[in-house]
Amino acid sequence: MNTSEVAPQEPVSQVSPQQIAANDWYGASFPVEDFQAYTSPFGYRQSPDGGYSTEFHYGLDMAAPDGSYIRNWWGGEVIEVSDDSNCGTSVVVQSGPWMHIYCHMRGHVEEDSRGRYMIDRDGGIQIWEGQEIIAGGRIGRVGMTGRTTGPHLHWGLKYDENWVDPALVLRAMYTTQQAAQAGSSGVQ
Ligand SMILES: [Zn+2]
């Protein structure tokens, strides 16, 4: 970290890893199939455009082959589909106080008399604003739309309007789900 960094422009949650770990994550889904690597963490980083500027990265980048399916992390309602920002083709889901954002997907947004939807015809995906989606449901595919240099999922998470480091949640999910597996097969 260098001293020229400015504070994040958007609110970042002060929720602690312990508070996140206290949730029941048993039903949550890892958000990408064919996951390869975490390529950029939440927090300050050098601008991917090069140069010396730093920026705050409000999400976790997860590399996966172009066309890999993305799974909805937690059951909820699609509150927005979009295809005209740095985030590229994207879907936003609200699950109680949690908002989860999926960026750089394949496909684009269309609209008809029934509303707006994200469509990825080759992937068999059509996601409507207002639609309820279960945890683990396929909501798109990894692509390269928006501001990106390679195929990956940019996954953003907010709790009560404040950004949260998605890696904290993934770690808590892993711990919960490992414990549940041990519990179901341990004492016999
Ligand atoms: Zn990103």
Ion ligand 1: residues, CB < 5 A: 59, 61, 154
Residues 55 and 124 sit within 8 Å (Cβ to Cβ): no
How far is ligand 1, taken at its centre, from the CA of residue 183, in Å?
Answer: 35
Structural domain of 131? 29-183
Q: Which residue, 92, 70, 88, 81, is CA-closest to 115?
A: 81
- The number of distinct structural domains making up the chain is 1
Distance of CA 174 to the CA centre of its chain: 16
186 vs 180: CA distance, rounded Å:
10
**Average pLDDT score, the chain:** 90
How far is ligand 1, taken at its centre, from the CA of residue 36, in Å?
Answer: 15
| Tens digits of residue pLDDT in 10-62 | 899 888 888 887 777 888 999 999 999 999 999 988 776 666 778 899 999 99
**Residue type at 148?**
T
How far is ligand 1, taken at its centre, from the CA of residue 39, in Å?
Answer: 9
What's the CATH code of the domain at 80?
Answer: 2.70.70.10
How far is ligand 1, taken at its centre, from the CA of residue 103, in Å?
Answer: 8
